[in-house]
Structure 1
Amino acid sequence: METIITTSSSKNYPYVHALGATHAINYHDLNVFEQVMDITNQQGVDVSLDCVGRDNDILAASVLRYEGCMVELVKTLTPNNYQDAFTRGLSFHQLSLGSGHRYGAYGRNTIIKAGIAISAMLEEGQLNVPKLEIVNFKDIGGALIDMRNERTVGKIVAKLI
């Protein structure tokens, strides 16, 4: 199976390959659409995942093959903005686990089930743990600026104590 991961810098290629990428694309230097189409022999991908936001959902939808599926993690899906979404038979899924707490026991159970599933995948080696950086409370502002400027790799956790 081919797994394509985009990144903001070619210096991140070893990291994304460690996450399981068979192909890495630096979206600042290369045309992602053209690269994906080249890798997939102009067919597109089965599944795309938008975990960036902004207009990345439009790109994620554009690289889908016929009957492809996109998962949106950051913003609200807007299928009317995705070229030929209906005639290409695309499907879209909005994942918003972060708001589950608003929906009582049902919402909490949804989050718990997702956590159990992810834990099982980690234990079975199906997921790689991303680089984790712990920052002190006084450094949160700088970390947020780095995130906004796309200068981070992996996950950042704030230590409050």
Structure 2
Amino acid sequence: MTEAIEATAWVATALGEPEQVLRSQQVEVRAPGPGEVRVAVDAFCLNFNDIDIIRGRYTTLPLPAPFVPGMESVGVVESAGPGAEHWVGRRIVGIPVMAFGGYASYAIVDAATALDLPDWISDVDGAALHYPFHLGWFALTERGRLQPGQTLLVHAAAGGTGSGALVLGKALGARVIATAGSDEKVRFCRELGADHAINYRDEDWVEQVMELTYGRGVDVAFDAVGGGVTVQTFKCMGYNGRHLMVGFAEDIALEDGDYLSPRPLAYGNFDLCGVCLVYVNDPLAIRRTLGFNWPARSAGLEAHVRILELIRTGAIHTVVGEELDWADLPAALTRMADRRTTGRLVVRTGAHHRTPPKITPPLLR
């Protein structure tokens, strides 16, 4: 019988600012339960939601301190609960149970979210591809129905999820208009391949988008910002366009806000599409118990194959802004909160001293 194991973890000892409340401590990681695996973690990404969870502002997942944050894990499955034994020994990326516990050298991961990583993907790239590209694939292809030749507007396109949507949108054949919050980030978006990049702090950014689309508006908007940016984006939507509500980086409290008016939707003849990506084994059970519509694991496996092939052939690439050592984590979260980061921030645990996977140039395989 699998027993609990000791791990090094970043613990939120109270609710507050990450640099003030996070402490690196030894914690006990329980044995995996049914449908769960325990992963010896080699790398993980920092997510904007982690900051709100640590601050105690994420009402979707309110956690009393102390707890271990972290919504993603990459590593080798060390043990498994009933029904997940076939995962033992495999290197995966996955979401820890209830989307916390990932900032640790061992984590309990929901096997429904586990995705194999081939040997030509490094731990860092495996962490950096997971949420941006799976969220982007789901948002752009399933919810946004993006077609080659259509115009895609990506907000916060220099950030973790936005950069993934930008890169993926280009690979899907879209004309991409990117927005970002500084001139430096605008240049970064152009380097990633954006056809046009705009500083959304410019008062006339809506007019710029409309001019770039010859007054027609965009076909799809990828919006992980929320608030005022969302309201302004309504003015940019073309006929039969799809506005993707992906997140609320402006302020997580907007999740329960009342700042949207039906008028722009009713008169604009465009769709407002919610986007929430959690792969589950039984979507109908989730619908019955929580009232949410989440995609099936089978859809995640199909998307993973498509994403890996795009990476293997060089059509897309991960956007790693920083590779961080363990001790760098709290300060990196502060930089992320202050909008001073680009791409994905990946932390290497350095805990297991395994020989890294052999990285074979994908195009030569």
Superposition TM-score, scaled by structure 2 size: 0.38
1:43 maps to 2:220: no
Cα separation, partners in 2 of 1:143 and 1:5, compared to 1, 3 Å:
same
Counterpart residue type for residue 117 of structure 1:
R
Deviation at 1:23, TM superposition (A): 0.9
1:104 maps to 2:243: no
Give the secondary-structure state (helix, strand or coil) at the position aligned to 1:69.
strand
Cα separation, partners in 2 of 1:124 and 1:67, compared to 1, 3 Å:
farther
Cα separation, partners in 2 of 1:37 and 1:145, compared to 1, 3 Å:
same
- Alignment length, in residue pairs? 158
Structure 2 match to 1:136: 325
1:122 maps to 2:299: no
1:91 maps to 2:271: yes
Structure 1 match to 2:137: none
Cα separation, partners in 2 of 1:140 and 1:52, compared to 1, 3 Å:
farther
Counterpart residue type for residue 281 of structure 2:
G
Q: Deviations over 1:95-153 (max 9, x none)?
A: 222x32xx336643333333222223333444343233111222222111111111111
Structure 1 match to 2:180: 7
Which of 135, 149, 155 is the aligned partner of 2:338? Answer: 149
Q: Percent same amino acid at aligned positions?
A: 25
Aligned Cα root-mean-square deviation (Å):
2.7
2:320–2:346 CA contact under 8 A, matched in 1: no
Instruction: Name the one with the larger helix percent.
Output: 1
Q: Aligned partners of 1:91 and 1:16: how far apart in 2?
A: 26
Alignment of 1:26-105 (within 5 A): 26-75=199-248, 81=261, 83-97=263-277, 99-100=278-279, 103-104=280-281
1:48–1:61 CA contact under 8 A, matched in 2: no
1:71–1:94 CA contact under 8 A, matched in 2: yes
Q: Which structure would you say has the larger Rg?
A: 2
Deviation at 1:54, TM superposition (A): 4.3
Please list every run of 5 or more consecutive structure 2 residues that lacks an aligned counterpart in the other structure.
Answer: 1-148, 150-174, 249-254, 284-295, 351-365
Give the secondary-structure state (helix, strand or coil) at the position aligned to 2:220.
strand
Give the secondary-structure state (helix, strand or coil) at the position aligned to 1:84.
helix
Superposition TM-score, scaled by structure 1 size: 0.79
Please list every run of 5 or more consecutive structure 1 residues that lacks an aligned counterpart in the other structure.
Answer: none
Give the secondary-structure state (helix, strand or coil) at the position aligned to 1:109.
helix
